[in-house]
Amino acid sequence: MNTKSLTKLYDRLTPWERLPLITAAVERGDDAETHRLSRSAPRLHLRLPDYHGLSDGLMLLTFFHVIGQLERGLLYWHAAGAAAEAEEFPVGPDDKGFAERLWDVARLTAYRLNVEADGWTRFCAALHLDGEALLRNLPCYDTLQRTQQTARLVACTAAEAADYLRRLGWGDAAPPTVEGVAKGLREFLEARFAWWNGDG
């Protein structure tokens, strides 16, 4: 098949035809094909309000934050459940040590859940936004709230988290901080805004 002749037809693709081709090119790591497909698409001329880039970035950040928190919540419940099972139904001589290590993972994950939640709150407060209002209408909100409330009860401290990371062999790896999370969120939002405004 002559792929050069096919590329001449790229400008005739419908959006419904183009998007699957771009997705497939991205998946196989074909950057050149991704760019060819993208550049050949007809352009729409839209007028957007000046805050659109911030709104778009905030929406993406909200989804990324929730997805990350749900993933950490699943890890927390999995580790806590496995630790409780190893304590309740030991089958080997090291089950007590295994359970303790799993509780360490659960407490470290709970620490991370808290740091991310507090970082989100601080990030939103700096923008004069109600962080909870951005999450409240998402279908996972109640589950996430219950998980974060439980995590507050069992989380290790920052010093305990650093000690645990050292015991895992991660040297001087520092656990995440509320300030670091808020800073990272702000940097993403600023980059997204710059991208929409042609500066990124």
CA distances from 158 to 90, 101, 115, 127, 181 (A): 31, 17, 10, 26, 14
pLDDT, tens digit (0-9, with 9 covering 90-100), for 182-195: 999 999 999 999 99
Which token pair is 143?
């589950």
pLDDT, tens digit (0-9, with 9 covering 90-100), for 24-45: 999 999 999 999 999 999 988 8
Query: Which among 61, 81, 69, 143 has a CA at the least distance from the CA of 110?
Result: 69
Read off the amino acid at residue 41.
Answer: A
Could you tell me the pTM of the whole model? 0.84
pLDDT, tens digit (0-9, with 9 covering 90-100), for 73-108: 999 999 999 999 988 887 777 777 888 889 999 999
